[in-house]
Chains A and B, each alone.
Chain A
Amino acid sequence: RKEVEQDPGPFNVPEGATVAFNCTYSNSASQSFFWYRQDCRKEPKLLMSVYSSGNEDGRFTAQLNRASQYISLLIRDSKLSDSATYLCVAHNNAGNMLTFGGGTRLMVKP
Chain B
Amino acid sequence: DTAVSQTPKYLVTQMGNDKSIKCEQNLGHDTMYWYKQDSKKFLKIMFSYNNKELIINETVPNRFSPKSPDKAHLNLHINSLELGDSAVYFCASSRGPEQFFGPGTRLTVL
Contacts and interface: CB of A to CB of B under 8 A. Distances in A.
Given A43-B103, A43-B104, A100 B90 contact: no
B98 A46 contact: yes
B44 A100 contact: yes
Nearest to B42: A102
Contacts of A97: 45, 48, 55
Interface string B82-110: 00000000100010011111111000000
Contacts of B53: 95
B27 interface: no
Contacts of A31: 97
A99 interface: yes
Interface centre among A43, A45, A91, A97 (most CB of B within 10 A): A43
Nearest to A44: B101
B46 to A, nearest CB: 11
B12 interface: no
A98 B53 CA distance: 16
A43 B102 contact: yes
Interface of A: 31-32, 34, 42-46, 49, 85, 87, 91, 95-100, 102-103
